[in-house]
Structure 1
Amino acid sequence: MVVVLNLVLLRGKDSIVAAMGMLVFPLLVFLMGISLYLMPSWNTANFVHGLAATRFDTPGLWHSLWLAVPVMVFSFSHAPIISSFASTQKSLYGDKAERRCARIMRYSYVLICVTVLFFVFSCVLSLSHEDMLQAKEQNITVLTTLANKFSNPLIAYLGPVMAMLAMAKSYLGTSLGVTEGATSLIDGVTRAVGKPLTSRMTHRISAASLFLLTWAATVWNPSALHIIETISGPLIAAILFILPMYAVRAVPAMRQYRAASNVFVLVMGLIALSALIYGLM
């Protein structure tokens, strides 16, 4: 699967965007279908009992909520595709591109939040606390957990397929930005030492490096949640939450983006970044 995804990356930005476009709607339909299918299995007793047994004066609760912030930051992050999205809209709509982008993203956010939150609550109400702990210990997806719990042939067959498609979509979207950044970095280094490479060669080197790192991570099979909580989520928060808020205040051309919501974004970024500091201690 890693080889196939990297072959798609080598075909360029247009192929990646087209592949992601084909993957999005089947995933949305599947998530909504699974969420609706699980409704008869909802057990509010576990949920209500968990809330009733929760003590808000215990450090463990706030520690869990604290580490959940980087996970949410990572889960809803789509920054790597923004550059290509904005570039495409700019070429199509010119001066109207900014308004067009804002409109598309507004509708996309609503659709994503409704679909994802409905799926999350449906899973939480259908699985017990023990099921969740077992999935975390085995480092498996919630779709695999649902397939094992309900013994439904449809979920058993489609669940892993949809999980692979979701991972493929996330990988393509993330890798697009990573490859562009790595290509720019390699180009800058080679020019600094007086041995510049062609654009094609730098792209191949960045793609090969990404392939090797991805393959190593696949073989290593680390805990996905642990990496998100302590590394990926906080770093994304620093890049997307903290640095832009500084730029909004420091760069005169970005003054138009100053708003009261900047404070909320900055605070959430600092909370997520603190998880990285905690993980290094």
Structure 2
Amino acid sequence: MEAGPKDAGGMVSAMILILPVLVFAFSFVAAISQFVLDMENEYGANHSKQTAKVIRSSVVLLTVFTMFFVWSSALAMGADGMDTANEQNLPVLSYFANVTGAPFMAYMAPIVVICAIASSYFGHSLGTVEGTRYLVGLVFPSAKKISNRKMDLWVYLFIFVVTSIVAVFNPSILDMISVVGGVFFALMTYLLPMFAIYKVDALQKFRSRKTNYFVMVMGVLVLLATVWDMVS
């Protein structure tokens, strides 16, 4: 993570290349299905207004908290600190704990990191289990006879094995986020919903919104930024 040119072109390039990471940081698509089901059970079929209110509040809180953390960390670390943390493949809090040597940071950094990983894990595991059930049932119709409990156990075993392999090889987290956030989340969060809106009749009421064009442009931009970052 090196400091690039400080002119207008360098700033624009840096902003474009950081988009895949931002998409990953702000995305909660893995848990959105369970969220909608819970809202429907709580508020009935006409839950759209309450759902929009909760999502709006969550987005505001997520944006304020995340950007405060990002800006404060960037200002505290500087370009050299971010470059060192990237080379050592360390999260920001672990880097601070190693550099400062403060006992408070040494104890709190692992706790905060574990809580962040646990909350992210549960959200993504919900989406993984739900998506895997659908895909397995689609590819192997006979698998629908398997009980949900047994299917969940197989999915969690798969998640454990894959994450363990990733932990052993310890690849660059920023590279993984860029690829996953740029390709998968750009398709799932931006482009696929827009495709569904204009192809599924039940979503026809959303077709006239001007924000659709913004979502499509941002999806294409994030996808191109990922390809650009991979080949450059």
TM-score (norm 1): 0.74
Task: Indicate conservation of the 8 Å contact 2:93/2:113, yes or no.
Answer: yes
Letter in 1 for 2:204: R
Shift of 1:234: 2.0
Q: Secondary structure at the match of 1:222?
A: coil
Is 1:217 equivalent to 2:166 in the alignment? yes
Is 1:264 equivalent to 2:214 in the alignment? yes
Corresponding position of 2:152: 203
Shift of 1:63: 4.1
Q: Secondary structure at the match of 2:140?
A: helix
| CA deviation vs aligned residue, 1:54-109 (integer Å, no higher than 9, x gap) | 02245xx5443332111001110101111111111111110332111111111111
After TM superposition, which residue ranges in structure 1, 4 or more long, deviate above 3 angstroms?
Answer: 61-64, 275-278
Letter in 1 for 2:102: N
Is 1:97 equivalent to 2:12 in the alignment? no
* Aligned residue among 174, 179, 203 for 1:254: 203
| CA deviation vs aligned residue, 1:128-185 (integer Å, no higher than 9, x gap) | 2110100011110111122233332212210111011101111111111011111222
Change (3 A) 1:81 1:231: closer
Task: Indicate conservation of the 8 Å contact 1:70/1:272, yes or no.
Answer: yes
Alignment of 1:42-191 (within 5 A): 54-58=6-10, 61-191=11-141
Shift of 1:276: 4.2
Corresponding position of 2:194: 245
Corresponding position of 1:22: none
TM-score (norm 2): 0.89
Q: Kindly indicate whether structure 1 or structure 2 has the higher relative contact order, using CA contacts under 8 Å at least 6 residues apart.
A: 2
Over the matched positions of the two proteins, sequence identity in percent amounts to 33
Task: Indicate conservation of the 8 Å contact 1:66/1:275, yes or no.
Answer: yes
What are the ranges of 5 or more consecutive residues in structure 1 without an aligned counterpart?
Answer: 1-49
Change (3 A) 1:95 1:184: closer
Letter in 1 for 2:191: I
Change (3 A) 1:148 1:199: closer
Q: Secondary structure at the match of 1:214?
A: helix
How many residue pairs end up in the alignment?
Answer: 228
Task: Indicate conservation of the 8 Å contact 1:187/1:197, yes or no.
Answer: no
Q: Secondary structure at the match of 1:211?
A: helix
Aligned-residue CA RMSD (Å): 2.3
Change (3 A) 1:91 1:195: closer
Letter in 2 for 1:190: F
Q: In 2, Cα distance between the equivalents of 1:108 and 1:126?
A: 27
| CA deviation vs aligned residue, 1:187-230 (integer Å, no higher than 9, x gap) | 333326x8843333322222211111111111111101001112
Task: Indicate conservation of the 8 Å contact 1:234/1:275, yes or no.
Answer: no
Q: In 2, Cα distance between the equivalents of 1:189 and 1:246?
A: 23
Shift of 1:246: 1.7
Change (3 A) 1:199 1:188: farther
Task: Indicate conservation of the 8 Å contact 2:137/2:144, yes or no.
Answer: no
Corresponding position of 1:36: none
What are the ranges of 5 or more consecutive residues in structure 2 without an aligned counterpart?
Answer: none
